């Protein structure tokens, strides 16, 4: 929303018929969860609109995949398929990271927790995976699992395949993210 607000302000965009300054309106209006304040568009549309207003609106590959779902073990296989179809290229590492991050929410926050999963290409062509959940206290910790332990390897796997990863805490909830490798080929 910040990118969109800045791009609109740079172009002096207002709604003259309503005498409303869109950047100010966007800062005050509280839309339903998951929607951006301007026109109740979703985040993917807001990013595309901001890119067009900045003059770099050439889309390279698909827009970000943005999903809201309940974190359930039985949802993981479908989530992997959705990511693969969205990126339209072999993406085992991306699928692994999405699965591990959502599985961590199931394990450490609770089955059925609402999550937002976002998969997007960065400006450098890498793929960024974000999983947002409502519990700001349950932070991921990279640990070394003993050889005979059956759990505790998810973040180690993520750490091994991702170029970098981290956690962004909000006042309500957190986003665990990772970025994978160099540029991935675009789908056909």
- The single-letter DSSP state of residue 3 is H
Residue 128 predicted with pLDDT over 80: yes
Predicted confidence band of residue 156 (pLDDT cuts 50, 70, 90): confident
Q: Which of 12-21, 37-46, 109-118, 166-175 has the lowest mean pLDDT?
A: 12-21
Block residue for tokens 């929607």? 35
Please give the full DSSP string across 28-75, using - where no structure is assigned: H--PSTTEETTTTEEHHHHHHHHHHHHT-----SSPPEEEEEE--GGG
Q: Please count the other Cβ atoms lying within 10 Å of the Cβ belonging to residue 108.
A: 15
Residue 130 predicted with pLDDT over 70: yes
Six-digit token pair at 122?
A: 């960065």
Burial class of 9 by CB neighbour count within 10 A (0 to 12, 13 to 18, 19+): middle
Burial class of 150 by CB neighbour count within 10 A (0 to 12, 13 to 18, 19+): exposed
Q: What percent of the chain has pLDDT over 70?
A: 57
Predicted TM-score (pTM) of the model is 0.64
Q: Which of 157, 96, 152, 88 is nearest to 129 (CA)?
A: 96
Helix axes 2-10, 43-54, angle to 10 degrees: 30
Highest average pLDDT, of 46-50, 136-140, 162-166, comes from 162-166
* Mean pLDDT, rounded, for 65-83: 94
Contact in structure between 179 and 126 (CB atoms under 8 Å): yes
């Amino acid at each position: 929303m910040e990118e969109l607000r800045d791009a609109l302000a740079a172009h002096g965009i207002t709604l003259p018929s309503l005498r409303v300054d869109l950047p100010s309106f966007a800062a005050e209006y509280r839309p339903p969860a998951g929607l951006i304040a301007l026109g109740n568009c979703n985040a993917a549309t807001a990013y595309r609109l901001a890119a067009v207003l900045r003059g770099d609106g050439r889309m390279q590959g698909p827009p970000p995949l943005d999903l809201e779902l309940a974190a359930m073990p039985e949802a993981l296989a479908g989530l992997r398929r959705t990511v693969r179809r969205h990126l339209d290229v072999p993406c085992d590492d991306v699928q692994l990271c999405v699965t591990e991050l959502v599985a961590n929410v199931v394990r450490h926050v609770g089955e059925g927790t609402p999550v937002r999963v976002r998969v997007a290409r960065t400006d450098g062509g890498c793929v960024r995976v974000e999983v947002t959940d409502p519990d700001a206290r349950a932070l991921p910790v990279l640990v070394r699992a003993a050889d005979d332990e059956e759990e505790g390897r998810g973040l180690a796997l993520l750490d091994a395949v991702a170029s970098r990863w981290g956690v962004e805490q909000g006042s309500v909830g957190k986003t665990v993210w990772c970025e994978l490798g160099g540029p991935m080929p675009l789908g056909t």
